[in-house]
Homo-oligomer: A and B are copies of this chain.
């Protein structure tokens, strides 16, 4: 009988099961949702400490499990990280939601959707991803390739931007949103951290709109001027 709540977001420090079975070894009775528990603990730990700071031992105890079991399921720490980041990331969905609808309202729509995701349960994974992506070089590379292949190559044609200006437009908008996320959810600098999300939509939406569909002729003039 497992009357305990799912280990989802909250941390439970110790293995609370078995006040009877004091520290048995071997296979656990009951349903094997342990794998998910490990993943949840891993997401939380990566979000709090980043890739390097999160230790397999901490993740294991956070899931009420022996450290070796983590390796049993996921092999190495790298694979654990990839597995933990995989589920909550589906940029295709976000891009689709962006693409249909009034193009002249895509900016605010994008900002609102972005903030909804970060305010929801996916936010922890986002913080983890950002923390880890920035932390060290190989995660940065990972993130870079992820951004290019999963976001840029899909978003540019979906949004109907021509290939000349499209990538710059999308990266400008994305980098703005990442900056907002960093300030609001990771660094938590006020007043940005606690202002209602609709305020940010109203403030940032027009900028993003301009990056996506606005007139950037000055920008490209500057580009050719610098290129000559």
Contacts and interface: CB of A to CB of B under 8 A. Distances in A.
Query: DSSP majority for the A interface?
Result: helix
- A137, A175, A183, A192: most-surrounded residue (chain B CB, <10 A): A175
For chain A, give the interface size range: 35 or more
A30 interface: no
A192 to B, nearest CB: 4
A67 interface: no
A2 to B, nearest CB: 32
Identical chains bound together, number: 2
Given A134-B131, A218-B202, A172 B187 contact: no
A89 interface: no
B171 A183 contact: yes
A189 B171 contact: yes
A32 interface: no
A134 B137 contact: no
A85 interface: no
Contacts of A180: 175-176, 179
B196 A222 contact: yes
A87 interface: no
Nearest to A197: B226
Interface stretch (A7-15, A69-77, A203-211): A203-211
Nearest to A132: B135
Nearest 5 Cβ contacts at the A-B interface: A179-B179, A196-B226, A175-B183, A207-B207, A202-B222
